[in-house]
Amino acid sequence: MTKKQCFGASHVPLSPAVRAGDFVYVSGQVPVDSDGKIIDGGVGAQTAKALENVAAALALAGCELSDVVKTTVWLKRAEDFADFNAAYAPFFPKDPPARSTAESRLMIDILVEIEAIAYKPV
């Protein structure tokens, strides 16, 4: 494995994105604004913001959403699955990545958390 490069800084002990060879691993992104405040608006708005934050973390590593090959999603409530899907789909209009989605108790009071793996040869 090649040397890992960490991108960005955080107030928690993690890197938003880490490159390992041709892969970039994005830590779970949550629906917070630049001030760290959780956004309102239900699961659709929170999904969009979490994916915008995924895109921002990817950009730190020179990637974009089209480079994503796998996402993992945690939803607070299974009944939000349809609304989540409706908000998620526009971010991956062509060749969507593989995805796992699970209902989960999340660490903060949010409705969704999303992590991603991107592939972009260096």
Per-residue pLDDT at 10: 59
State the average pLDDT for the chain.
92
Residue 9 has pLDDT above 60, yes or no: no
Query: Could you tell me the CATH number of the domain that includes residue 19?
Result: 3.30.1330.40
Per-residue pLDDT at 65: 98
Domain that holds residue 110: 5-119
- Domain total for the chain? 1
Pick the residue with more confidence: 97 or 3?
Answer: 97
Report the candidate in 52, 84, 63 with the shortest Cα–Cα distance to residue 19: 63
Buried b (16+ CB within 10 A) or exposed e, 28-66: bbbbbeeeeeebeeebbbbbbbbbbbbbebbebbebebe
Alpha-carbon distance of 21 to 34, in angstroms, equals 29
How many Cβ atoms sit within 10 Å of the Cβ of residue 13?
5
Per-residue pLDDT at 1: 39
Per-residue pLDDT at 13: 79
Q: How confident is the model over 45-60, as pLDDT tens digits?
A: 999 999 999 999 999 9
Per-residue pLDDT at 105: 95
CA 58 to chain centre: 9
Per-residue pLDDT at 68: 98
Q: DSSP secondary-structure letter at 4? A: P
Per-residue pLDDT at 7: 61
